[in-house]
Amino acid sequence: MSFRFRRSIKIAPGIRLNVGKNGLTGLTIGTRGFSFTLGKEGTYANVGLPGTGLSYRSKLGAGWSAVSRPDPIPQEETEFSLTLEKDGTVSYWDTAEKPLTPTQIERVQKENRPSIEAWLHEQAQAYNAASAALLNLHHTTPCSR
């Protein structure tokens, strides 16, 4: 069970502003028995019989949250290459060997996560193999007596 908060504020005759726990939830235009509600969940027509508790509500269209968002711009596919720096950071480059912007890096990471993780795993294995050879160097070095 959760708490709910709803408040309706009369702005003018026939116009009410609806407020909930998350802020402005809608605008209602009309009188008792017949009204339209415009909100982020959609536009609704409301019909009811005052005093009976009987009502009917029908969705007419999308809400302001869907309407206010522009259609996403199609993203072009970014070709990239990776470089593992000596300090362990990864550098992202485009085909012209220019560094990618932070926005491009974020998109590349999101779209290519499995392949980037596989590449990092390969780089770590190569580093570990080289480190192991250095660590065991004393085994192959002749003893000076």
Model confidence, pTM:
0.42
How much is the pLDDT for 47? 92
Helix (H) or strand (E) holding 103: helix 102-111
Closest CA to 35 of 45, 23, 25: 45
Q: Give the pLDDT score at 66.
A: 52
Task: State how far the alpha carbon of 65 is from the alpha carbons of 35, 52, 61, 73, in Å.
Answer: 21, 33, 12, 18
Cα separation, 60 vs 45, in Å, equals 7
Q: Please, what are the averages of pLDDT over each run of 10 residues along the chain (145 residues)?
A: 82 90 86 87 88 88 60 64 85 88 89 89 84 73 73
